Structure 1
Amino acid sequence: MMITYEWCGDFDNAALNALHAEGFDHPLEQTDWRARLLRHSLGWVCAWHGDHLTGFVNVAWDGGDHAFVLDTVVARRSRSEGVGSALVKAAAEGARAAGCEWLHVDFEEHLRSFYFDACGFRATDAGLIAL
């Protein structure tokens, strides 16, 4: 079955919580993703395998030219099939269509080749303060 991608797709909070818990290896939470995204995001992309949510990425923004990739996650059964890079590509297209000029991403070292090689990001200087 083909994977489909949907900008600002309709999703069930329970399905996104389950995907997030699986993808980031943490206990199942009861986050109200819909309220969070509507309050803080430019948009998001849902990846669907039939009617099953198999991938997700959030696109936050500064209200102007800068968008930020957050929470990129793909279900285990759909990994290594290009779903993650397709999610990020759709996120970039959505941000571009909204008038953004830059798409930022922060990531852990083990994801470096994914974001640089598979998604086309380039290295920049950045700073971080752990709070």
Structure 2
Amino acid sequence: MLTVCPELTDHELNALFEASWPEHQPTSFAPVLSHSLAWVAAHRGNQLVGFVNLATDGGAHAFVLDTTVRPDARRRGLGVRLVRAGAEEARARGARWLHVDYEPRLEGFYQRCGFRPTAAGLLRL
């Protein structure tokens, strides 16, 4: 089940990220979510199995961050559903443009979500 901006604990989010990203280190998500336009979560029973965060510039632009699906829930369309639900929520909250940065191997996934490639720049800080 997908829900928009549910209350999520650090324990839930860290468990999802640890299962999904081998190098994840436990962190507090409150500072991140406090700057978010919205987020969408997917639960299977009581377990958090998917998450996407939508950051904002406070104006017309929103940004997809941290698209995450547990490995045992992947390849079933959940990630696409999360991103599309996030896009609809961003639109409902006034965003006119939705941006995402991704590695080349994820281009097909984000195309299925409705994104088209654009030129962009990135500076690692």
Give TM-score, length-normalised by structure 1: 0.91
RMSD: 1.1
Q: Is the 8 A contact 2:36 2:54 kept in 1?
A: yes
Distance 2:114 2:22 in 1: 26
Gapped regions of structure 2 (runs ≥ 5)? none
| Runs of 4+ that moved beyond 4 A | none
**Aligned twin of 1:35:** 31
Q: Does 1:23 align with 2:20?
A: yes
In 2, are the aligned partners of 1:18 and 1:28 still within 8 Å (CA)?
Answer: no
The number of residues matched between the two structures is 125
* 2:17–2:24 CA contact under 8 A, matched in 1: no
User: Separation in 1 of the partners of 2:31 and 2:70?
Assistant: 23
Give structure 1 stretches of 5+ with no counterpart: none
Q: Which residue of 2 aligns with 1:9?
A: 6
Q: Which of 95, 99, 124 is the matching residue for 1:100?
A: 95
Which residue in the other structure is 1:125 paired with?
A: 119
Q: C-alpha distance in 2, partners of 1:20/1:27? A: 6
Cα distance, 1:28 vs structure 2 = 4.1
How far apart are the structure 2 equivalents of 1:123 and 1:67? 16
- In 1, the alpha carbon distance for the partners of 2:92 and 2:84 equals 12
Deviation at 1:9, TM superposition (A): 1.2
Residues of 2 paired with 1:24 and 1:115: CA distance? Answer: 19
1:120, distance to aligned residue in structure 2 (A): 1.0
In structure 2, how many angstroms separate the alpha carbons of the residues matched to 1:71 and 1:51?
A: 21
Q: TM (normalized to structure 2)?
A: 0.95
Map 1:32-111 to 2 at 5 A: 32-38=28-34, 40-111=35-106
Cα distance in 1 for residues equivalent to 2:9 and 2:102: 26
